[in-house]
Every structure is written in structure tokens, then in C-alpha cells.
């Protein structure tokens, strides 16, 4: 029965349990298995091959043929090993089981195809077979048997845990979670693939690691990263710089001094890229999605490797960007799509994204054929369908059709960390940066008709926090002036690319009013938390896409974990209690999904120093003074 667990024992012939194997390793394994006459392992997942195996617990609906059998891990499951020592389990992840060792495997029947697969809770090594254990009990007597039974019971129940891996690239070591390692190998093994995981789970670093490894293995051609403007300008370059990754980069958005490229400048850069391609001088280029059609028109397509960050922006088959990329799809040898919201409106949004990956192989060669197979019309205008709804069972069929080229929480059992904390950096525009530097230097900021002074460190810290979020209050304490919108744009980007409702924690009243106005302008409903039971119920039912919360109004005992699992800190408080209490609204008992906490930090401002103080749990007056001094330095 699907979901049923059984246990088998046998002697190991061969095992690969360290991690998911790469395509090259899989081919080597398959060749060796074929040569030895063993069952040939088909998928790039961890596995164990046994001989002289037998059933220990549970039952099999049909006997597996032969004295030799191979069990592989379920997709997205990274098994680990546990060795029984004196009645205790010792984790030894990262080792293989030597040939000839007797192991006990926990298996689970997969619902999709009825195969028996290794479960996450792993492998017990050095276990005695039942008949050997019985003989030992007869010799040692009842007392010894009880002791042996007690030891056995301790080895029968244990659970897997997250294991991080280290990937070495050109002398650099990248710390990757096991789900990132799995995604990295998936990208390397699949030239055309999608990584559809929530924002904040490290898709950028995972993709860069895969591309760097592929470069080491001889991948040729320029790389083009297509992303929203703010992401293309900073996020990817920041990750490359942070980890010192071996990529030479250029941008079709701005020049080296940060100035926007003119059409003539893009043409010149494109021609230079063509010259470099002819010499084998491969580089990584950035472009916004609005530039895709323009790049296609500049000349013969140069980019053999393409990454689409936030691929849902290509969801419309009628859009110019989709049509442009479709026209050069045949010249692209590797295409990686990244998104946390592949179907923001409905599963109709998937078709164009999957088409770019497989040119219509899985979901049909046209949006019409896709709709006819998986949807039914609900509204006709002049006998032409204009609205559609999913047919019963279609969602499962669609994800099953694409699960060989897409990693999604819909089609894999990846185990994610219970809590992921992300630092999301924002770049101040030059004029705002100048104002911030002036306030730091002179402790006075001149604005039209106003002069705002900071008479002491506490006041200055407050002013700097205001300005780092994009606005600053005038002397009356009621009116404020907006300085820049980049932090709000980043917040909007995060919530727009999160599939579930988001909490946004703000500090200043100006933050709330500016956020509400921006979301309203962009057609998204954001609501200000009023503390009422009715609003809490609507949030927990998933009825509020974006809810703005002031930490002081979200004290202990407020249960918001049922409504979402994403928290965005727009402005950090200078209060450890408020910071911890706000995080605890989602990251608490009863939360059923991995929690992601984003910290929006403006580069070169007091934001980073406030977060450092919160993490060190030091919010004393001395810490405040130190933060101000570091900011002024």
C-alpha cells in the first residue's frame, strides 16, 4: 500500500549514500553494475544494492525477484547512515557501507509508481540477522536476551536531519544545504530545467555554483542572466563578489560607473561580446526582462547559456519577451528557470515557462492545446472561451508531466530548514546616498524649507534608521519627506514572488503609509494590522496577501502561524524583545511550513549595525553608541 513502511535486511554489494550522484558518476555506476551483472541503477539518487536479502517487518504485496536487489532513495531525500554502538545510534553521514556488511533498510512504497524506496530515516549498520540474533539469545540466556532486545529497540526508531555540504570551487568553499546540493546537481544533470522553490532559499547561489562547476567541466559559451532590474543590478553580482566566484561579468543595464546604458552603448557592448565569443573569452552578462526583445534584435544570438530569474514574468505567451526568447530557443544549449511563484494566477501560467524548457514536449506545442487537455471553459464571448478552470485531477497530472525537468515543492520531498534567515541588500541612489553621508558627517540634513538636527547619538540613530528606509521626518514629527523608493520596491518584489501571504514588519508610521500607497498604486492589496480578532482570523485563513505589522502591536501569544510562513523586516527595531516576539508570530509551535525571515538592509547604512546588535542580543546604550560610531566611521 502507498505510504506503508517495511524493513528488509541483507548484505551490501554496493552503496552510494553520501549524496546525489552527478550524471557522470551515474554513468560510471551503471557501467560497473552492468559489467558485474547487477541490477542497473537508473536515477541519480542515493542507493543500496543487497544480496541474500529478506523481509524483517511489514509485508510486500509482491516478491521482488532475485537474490540481489537495489533500493534507491526517494526523489529529494538525502539518506544518512546511523551505526549502533552499545545501544546508541551514532550518525556517520558521508560514508559508504562496506561490501559484505549486513544492513537493515527502512523502505516506503511510493504512491506514484508503487516502487519501494529508501526513507529519510535511513540505514542501520552492523545489525544482526534475525536467526543470528536468536542464536545469541539462546546462548546468553533470558537476561542477555532482554538486554539485546533493549538495544535493538533503540536502533528501530530514529529520524533524519539536515546535513550541510561544502562545495569547493577554484579554492573557494561554498556552504550549501543538502537541498541546495540536490538542486545544484539537478541543474548540472538537466540542460533545460526549472527550480521552483520559495524566494529566500538560496536559488541564486545554487545556480551560480552549478554554472561554476559546469565551467570547470568545460561548459562553453556566454551566460546571460535575465532578471528584474533591481535583482539584475545587484543581487547576482553581490553573490559573485561575496564568494569570489570565477565569473567575469558585464551588464546590459548600466556601465562600470553605474550609469544607464544607451541603445548605442548596448549595441557596442553586444558587438564586443561577439568578439569575445569568437576568442572563447566567455563571460556572464546581466539584462532585465524588458531588454530581451532588444537583445534579440541586436544581432545573431550570442548566449548559449541562459538563466531566467523570476521566470513567471514570461508567463504570457502573447508577450514580446516570450516571443523573442522563443525565436532564439534553438540556439540556447542550457536554460535554467528560477521562481518561487511559477503560477501566480493559475496553472495556465505554467505553459509558456515549460515551453521554453522543452519546446512543447510535455504540456503541448500551443497554449490552446494545453488548455484543451487540462482545463474547461467557464465563460464564452462570441462562442470563444475567455475564462478557464482546471479539470479534476489536472494539477497532479501537470506536475507529474513536468517533474523530470522541474524541482518543485509540488513534486519532490525536499526537506527544508525549519528557519531560513535572509539578508536582502538595497542600494541607495546617488542623491539619497549623498544626503545620508551629509547627515552622518554634519549631524544636520538640509531639506527644502527644513533643517533637521540630531543633537545626540540616540536621535541621530533614529534619523539614520528613518533615512535608511527611504524617508525622514521633519522637525514637527508628523510630516516626512520621501528620499528614495528602492527599499519599498525590494519589499514589493519579495511579496510578489512569494506564493503565500507575507507579514511585513515596519517601525515608523511613514513606513506604513508609504508601503500602503506603493502597493495600492501597483494594484496589490496590503492591509495594516489593527489587532482585531476578525483580522487575525482573516490572516490565518489566508485572506490577506500582505499584512503590515508594527512589532509593538504584535506581542507575545499572538498566533499568526496558520496564515503564512514569510516575514519581511522593512525597518528593524532597536528592541530585542520586539524583534524576537515578531519573529515568533510565525516561527512557533503549530507552524507547518519552513519559515523564511527576510531582512531588508540598505547598503552602507546603520541597518547592518542594528541587525548585528540584535543578533548579539546587545541593545544597551553602549551598543547604540558603538553602532552610531561604526556608521559614522
Q: Which residues contact 180 (CB under 8 A, 6 or more apart)?
A: 165, 201, 202, 205, 206, 209
Backbone φ and ψ for 285, nearest 5 degrees, come out as -115, 150
Return the residue matching grid coordinates 546571460: 224
Rounded-to-integer distance, Cα 193 and Cα 544, Å: 32
Q: What is the CATH number of domain 165-408?
A: 3.40.50.10810
Helix axes 486-496, 509-521, angle to 10 degrees: 60
Q: Which residues contact 608 (CB under 8 A, 6 or more apart)?
A: 601
8-state DSSP, 314: G
**Least confident range of 324-338, 408-422, 457-471, 586-600:** 408-422
Return the residue matching grid coordinates 560610531: 629
Confidence of residue 623 (pLDDT cuts 50, 70, 90): low
Mean pLDDT of 548-556: 81
Q: Give all strands of the β-sheet with 526-528 in edge-to-edge order.
A: 419-426, 595-602, 566-569, 502-505, 546-549, 526-528
Identify the pLDDT of residue 275: 95
Helix axes 394-402, 367-374, angle to 10 degrees: 130
**Least confident range of 8-22, 254-268, 465-479:** 8-22
* R_g (Cα) of the chain, nearest Å: 28
pLDDT digits (tens, 9 = 90+) for 278-314: 999 999 999 999 999 999 999 899 999 999 998 999 9
Which residues are bridge partners to 406 per DSSP?
A: 194
Mean pLDDT of 120-146: 47
Q: Residue 152 pLDDT > 50, yes or no?
A: no
Q: Which residues contact 253 (CB under 8 A, 6 or more apart)?
A: 229, 232, 233, 260, 261, 286, 287, 288, 291
Class of 419-632 in CATH: alpha beta
Identify the pLDDT of residue 609: 87
**Mean of all residue pLDDT scores within the chain:** 79
Which residues are bridge partners to 12 per DSSP?
A: 50
Q: Are 550 and 524 in contact (CB under 8 A)?
A: no
pTM (global) more than 0.95: no
The CA angle 309-564-424, to the nearest 5 degrees, is 40
Among 331, 279, 273, 319, which Cα is nearest to 298's?
Answer: 273
Mean pLDDT of 340-346: 83
HSE toward the beta carbon, residue 107, CA cutoff 13 A: 27
Mean pLDDT of 217-232: 90
User: Of residues 585 and 443, which shows the higher confidence score?
Assistant: 585
Identify the pLDDT of residue 211: 96
Among 601, 603, 604, 531, which Cα is nearest to 571's?
Answer: 601
Identify the pLDDT of residue 31: 80
| Separation in Å, CA 349 to CA 314, 315, 355 | 9, 5, 11
Confidence of residue 242 (pLDDT cuts 50, 70, 90): confident
User: Of residues 531 and 104, which shows the higher confidence score?
Assistant: 531
Rounded-to-integer distance, Cα 489 and Cα 52, Å: 62
Q: Are 258 and 289 in contact (CB under 8 A)?
A: no
- Other Cβ atoms less than 10 A from the Cβ of 67: the count is 9
Among 121, 127, 142, which Cα is nearest to 79's?
Answer: 121
Return the residue matching grid coordinates 540630531: 454
Per the structure block, which three cell numbers stand in for 453? 538636527
Confidence of residue 2 (pLDDT cuts 50, 70, 90): very low
State the maximum Cα–Cα separation within the chain, in Å, rounded to a whole number. 96
Q: Residue 584 pLDDT > 70, yes or no?
A: yes
**Least confident range of 379-383, 568-572, 585-589:** 585-589
DSSP class per residue in 549-610: E-GGGS-TT---TTT-SEEEESS--S-HHHHHHHHTTTSSTT--S-EEEEEEEETTSTHHHH
Q: Are 199 and 565 in contact (CB under 8 A)?
A: no
Where are the domain boundaries for CATH 3.40.50.10810 in the chain?
165-408
pLDDT digits (tens, 9 = 90+) for 485-527: 999 999 999 998 888 899 999 999 999 999 999 999 999 989 9
Confidence of residue 354 (pLDDT cuts 50, 70, 90): very high
**Highest mean pLDDT: which range of 118-122, 384-388, 525-529:** 525-529
Where are the domain boundaries for CATH 3.40.50.300 in the chain?
419-632
Rounded-to-integer distance, Cα 205 and Cα 194, Å: 15
Alpha helix stretches (DSSP H) within 480-556: 486-496, 509-521, 533-540
Amino acid at each position: 500500500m502507498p505510504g506503508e513502511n517495511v524493513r528488509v535486511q541483507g548484505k551490501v554489494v554496493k552503496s552510494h549514500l553520501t549524496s546525489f550522484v552527478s550524471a557522470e558518476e551515474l554513468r560510471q555506476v551503471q557501467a560497473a553494475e552492468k559489467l558485474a551483472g547487477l541490477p542497473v541503477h537508473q536515477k541519480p539518487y542515493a542507493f543500496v544494492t543487497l544480496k541474500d536479502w529478506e523481509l524483517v517487518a511489514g509485508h510486500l504485496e509482491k516478491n521482488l525477484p532475485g537474490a540481489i536487489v537495489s533500493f534507491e532513495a526517494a526523489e529529494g531525500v538525502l539518506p544518512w547512515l546511523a551505526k549502533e554502538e552499545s545501544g546508541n545510534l551514532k550518525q556517520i553521514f558521508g560514508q559508504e557501507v562496506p561490501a559484505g556488511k549486513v544492513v537493515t533498510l527502512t523502505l516506503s512504497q511510493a504512491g506514484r509508481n508503487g516502487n519501494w524506496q529508501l526513507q529519510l530515516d535511513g540505514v542501520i549498520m552492523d545489525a544482526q540477522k534475525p536467526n543470528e540474533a536468536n542464536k545469541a539469545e539462546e546462548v546468553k540466556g533470558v537476561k542477555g536476551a532482554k538486554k539485546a532486545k533493549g538495544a535493538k529497540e533503540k536502533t528501530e526508531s530514529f529520524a533524519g536531519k539536515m546535513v550541510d555540504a561544502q562545495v569547493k570551487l577554484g579554492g573557494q568553499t561554498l556552504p550549501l544545504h543538502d537541498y541546495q546540493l540536490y538542486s545544484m546537481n539537478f541543474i548540472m544533470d538537466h540542460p533545460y530545467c526549472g527550480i521552483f522553490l520559495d524566494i529566500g532559499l538560496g536559488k541564486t547561489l545554487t545556480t551560480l555554483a552549478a554554472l561554476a562547476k559546469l565551467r570547470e567541466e568545460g561548459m562553453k559559451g556566454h551566460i546571460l542572466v535575465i532578471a528584474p532590474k533591481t535583482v539584475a543590478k545587484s543581487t547576482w553580482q553581490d553573490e559573485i563578489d561575496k564568494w569570489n566566484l570565477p565569473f567575469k561579468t558585464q551588464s546590459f543595464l548600466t556601465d562600470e560607473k553605474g550609469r544607464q546604458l544607451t541603445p548605442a552603448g548596448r549595441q557596442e557592448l553586444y558587438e564586443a561580446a561577439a568578439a569575445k565569443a569568437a576568442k572563447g573569452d566567455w563571460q556572464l552578462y546581466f539584462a532585465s526582462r524588458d531588454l530581451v526583445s532588444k537583445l534579440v534584435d541586436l544581432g545573431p544570438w550570442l548566449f548559449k547559456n541562459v538563466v531566467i530569474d523570476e521566470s513567471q514574468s514570461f508567463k504570457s505567451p502573447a508577450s514580446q519577451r516570450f516571443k523573442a526568447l522563443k525565436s532564439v530557443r534553438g540556439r540556447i544549449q542550457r536554460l535554467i528557470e528560477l521562481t518561487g511563484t511559477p503560477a501566480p494566477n493559475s496553472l495556465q501560467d505554467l505553459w509558456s515557462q515549460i515551453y521554453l524548457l522543452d519546446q512543447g514536449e510535455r504540456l503541448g506545442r500551443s497554449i490552446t492545446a494545453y488548455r484543451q487537455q487540462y482545463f474547461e471553459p467557464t465563460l464564452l464571448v462570441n462562442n470563444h472561451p475567455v475564462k478557464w478552470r482546471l479539470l479534476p485531477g489536472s494539477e497532479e497530472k501537470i506536475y507529474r508531466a513536468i517533474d523530470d525537468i522541474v524541482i518543485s515543492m509540488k513534486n519532490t520531498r525536499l526537506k527544508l530548514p525549519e528557519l531560513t534567515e535572509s539578508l536582502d541588500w538595497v542600494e541607495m541612489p546617488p542623491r539619497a546616498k549623498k544626503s545620508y553621508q551629509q547627515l552622518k558627517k554634519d549631524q544636520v540634513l538640509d531639506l527644502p524649507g527644513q533643517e533637521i538636527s540630531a543633537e545626540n547619538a540616540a536621535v541621530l540613530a533614529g534619523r539614520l534608521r528613518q533615512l535608511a528606509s527611504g524617508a525622514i521626518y521633519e522637525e514637527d514629527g508628523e510630516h516626512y519627506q520621501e528620499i528614495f523608493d528602492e527599499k519599498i520596491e525590494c519589499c514589493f518584489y519579495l511579496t510578489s514572488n512569494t506564493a503565500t501571504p507575507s507579514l511585513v514588519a515596519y517601525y515608523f508610521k511613514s513606513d506604513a503609509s508609504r508601503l500602503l500607497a506603493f502597493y495600492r498604486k501597483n494594484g496589490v492589496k496590503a492591509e495594516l494590522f489593527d489587532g482585531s480578532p476578525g483580522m487575525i482570523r482573516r490572516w490565518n485563513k489566508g485572506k490577506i496577501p500582505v499584512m503590515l505589522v508594527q512589532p509593538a502591536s504584535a506581542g507575545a501569544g499572538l498566533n499568526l502561524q496558520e496564515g503564512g510562513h514569510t516575514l519581511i523586516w522593512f525597518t528593524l527595531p532597536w528592541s530585542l524583545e520586539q524583534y524576537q516576539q515578531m519573529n515568533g508570530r510565525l516561527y512557533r509551535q503549530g507552524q507547518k511550513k519552513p519559515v523564511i525571515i527576510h531582512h531588508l538592509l540598505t547598503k552602507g547604512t546603520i541597518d547592518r549595525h542594528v541587525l548585528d546588535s540584535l543578533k548579539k542580543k546587545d541593545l544597551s546604550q553602549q551598543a547604540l553608541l558603538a553602532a552610531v560610531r561604526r556608521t559614522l566611521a
